[in-house]
Amino acid sequence: MDSESPDLAALRQRLAEEEAAYAEVLGAVDALADFRLPLETHPELSDLLARLNQLWETAPPPSGGGLAGRRQRALWSALAPLRERQQQFNSVLVQLLNAYLDDAGHVHARLRNLAAALVRYLQRVLPVMDARDRMATALATTRSELVLEAFDRRQESLARRLSGLLALRDRVETLSEQQQAVQHALKAAPPTATAAAAAVEASDSAAYSAFENRFRGDREEIRERMRSYLPLFAALAPVVDLGCGRGEFLELLREAGVAARGVEASARAVQECRDRGLEVVQGDLLQFMRQQHDAALGGVFAAQVAEHLPPPVLTDLLGQAHRTLRSGGLLVLETVNPRSLVGFLEVFNRDLTHERPLHPDTLSFLAAAAGFSDVRVELRSPVDPAARLQPVPAAGLPAATTAVINENVERLNAMLYGPQEYALLARR
């Protein structure tokens, strides 16, 4: 396991120190609340107090007659009992006071320990509060930040103008491709209603092809992105590419010597694939899979297709893939990652033909329910690091504060700027 970063180690150490400080305060409070009252510690105090009160009662004088007897009784009453009672009273009183003072001393000591613990804890909290204030001051708006903000607004204005020019260029390219597609369709079919319908379909295909060229990337870019899938299918011929589009992955498979064919609904894309010598069938991909024999395929691949399918069709497709793959065969479905906000907003929402986003857990569950035994997910298409939230530099802030801020930055990056796509890999 890789060693953790120094910033994370410092954050963990700081957390342990704060938990220890909290435990110290909590222990002191518990000790204070747990002390016993004097009467609970010394139950004999009640008897001593009662005896003290009894000693103050007047004792009866001795009996006897005559002058001598009267003197003896007077002397006994006046001197002996008084001295004896005074001694006993003093003894009981001292015992009572000692017991109370002893318990009071313990209470005062525990209060003193609690006060000391609270003071030490506050001394630890104050630097953190000071660091927060310094950070707030450091992040305050400055003149340089205002200048940068004004510069950003100018950049945004230029970007909007440039976007308008690009849209105009794309529209011109789309119209040109539509014109070529219609001309090709009219030449290939007689001048009937069927030919007119073919021309309309060709026009729509050309428009969507232009859309893909503009937002998904050119052929070479797509080839390079899909090249990493080649080792997965090296020994799994024959392979079927569902929704093969312009045939980039089919070309890679052919170059690697892996027998493969594709199925595609767009007539324009099918013609483009056939012009490159690729074996592609035009039609519905689910109907195509239903026509395949059991255990006839080694691999099934579909990139950016699953999100276009309604749930019943997707479920049926997974079942057909499981049926047609032989033991050890592999299904790979690449789709948009909805757990990445930039992937959801900038990739999924841009295409109007997308049916719904597919959470990786949902797609994994559906594949397992279809019978696939080994199902896993690989994240793909990471966001450019320059577009992600940047960590806070350590200068000017305590290391622990910097660690906390940067940990939160990483969490936000994972949620906002996570990989834009993922691939489901399901083994038969």
Q: Please identify, among 163, 192, 207, the residue that sits at the C-terminal boundary of a domain.
A: 207
Between CA 206 and CA 177 the distance in angstroms is 6
**pLDDT the model gives residue 400:** 83
Residue 356 lies in a domain: yes
**pLDDT the model gives residue 147:** 55
Q: What 3-state class would DSSP assign to 10?
A: helix
Q: What 3-state class would DSSP assign to 239?
A: strand
**pLDDT the model gives residue 172:** 53
Between CA 318 and CA 383 the distance in angstroms is 29
**pLDDT the model gives residue 6:** 79
Q: What 3-state class would DSSP assign to 5?
A: coil
CA angle at 17 for the pair 13 and 30, rounded to the nearest 5°: 150
Between CA 268 and CA 207 the distance in angstroms is 10
Q: Please identify, among 103, 130, 157, the residue that sits at the C-terminal boundary of a domain.
A: 130
The helix (run of H) or strand (run of E) holding residue 374 is strand 374-380
How far is the CA of 270 from the CAs of 4, 264, 283, in angstroms?
51, 6, 10
**pLDDT the model gives residue 33:** 58
Instruction: Name 263's bridge partners.
Output: 242, 281
Same domain, 291 and 404: yes
**pLDDT the model gives residue 212:** 57
Same domain, 99 and 182: no
Same domain, 24 and 88: yes
62 prior amide bond cis, ω within 30: no
Residue 115 lies in a domain: yes
Between CA 358 and CA 352 the distance in angstroms is 15
Residue 39 lies in a domain: yes
**pLDDT the model gives residue 193:** 40
**pLDDT the model gives residue 357:** 86
Look at strands 421-427 and 325-336 and give their pairing. antiparallel
Q: Return the axis-axis angle of helices 45-55 and 80-138, rounded to nearest 10°.
A: 140
**pLDDT the model gives residue 158:** 65
Query: In the sheet that 260-264 helps form, which strands lie side by side, from edge to edge?
Result: 280-282, 260-264, 239-242, 297-303, 325-336, 421-427, 374-380
Same domain, 288 and 368: yes
Instruction: Name 260's bridge partners.
Output: 239
Same domain, 186 and 295: no
Residue 254 lies in a domain: no
Same domain, 163 and 124: no
How many distinct structural domains can be found in the chain? 3
Same domain, 171 and 292: no
Roughly how many angstroms between the first and final C-alpha of the chain, as a whole number? 31
pTM: 0.51
**pLDDT the model gives residue 256:** 95
Same domain, 186 and 87: no
Between CA 142 and CA 126 the distance in angstroms is 27
Instruction: Name 264's bridge partners.
Output: 282
Task: Provide the token pair at 90.
Answer: 């003093």
Same domain, 124 and 189: no
Residue 253 lies in a domain: no
Q: What 3-state class would DSSP assign to 298?
A: strand
Locate all alpha helices (DSSP H) within 242-310, ordered by sequence: 248-255, 267-275, 285-290
Between CA 94 and CA 48 the distance in angstroms is 10
Identify the domain containing residue 186 by its residue range: 144-207
Between CA 248 and CA 227 the distance in angstroms is 9
Same domain, 188 and 75: no
**pLDDT the model gives residue 188:** 53
**pLDDT the model gives residue 142:** 53
Residue 417 lies in a domain: yes
**Cβ contacts of 289 within 8 Å, gap of 6 or more:** 240, 242, 300, 317, 320, 321, 324
Task: Provide the token pair at 241.
Answer: 């590419």
Look at strands 297-303 and 325-336 and give their pairing. parallel
Q: What is the amino acid identity at position 31?
A: A
Same domain, 72 and 174: no
Residue 268 lies in a domain: no
**Cβ contacts of 31 within 8 Å, gap of 6 or more:** 110, 113, 114
Torsion of CA 20, 24, 25, 29, to 10 degrees: 140
Same domain, 324 and 350: yes
**pLDDT the model gives residue 279:** 96
The domain that holds 355 is classified in CATH as 3.40.50.150
Residue 180 lies in a domain: yes
* Rounded mean pLDDT for each run of 10 residues along the chain, 428 residues in total: 68 80 73 63 72 60 69 69 70 73 70 69 63 55 57 68 61 56 53 44 48 64 92 95 94 96 92 94 94 96 92 95 96 92 72 82 94 93 83 80 84 82 94
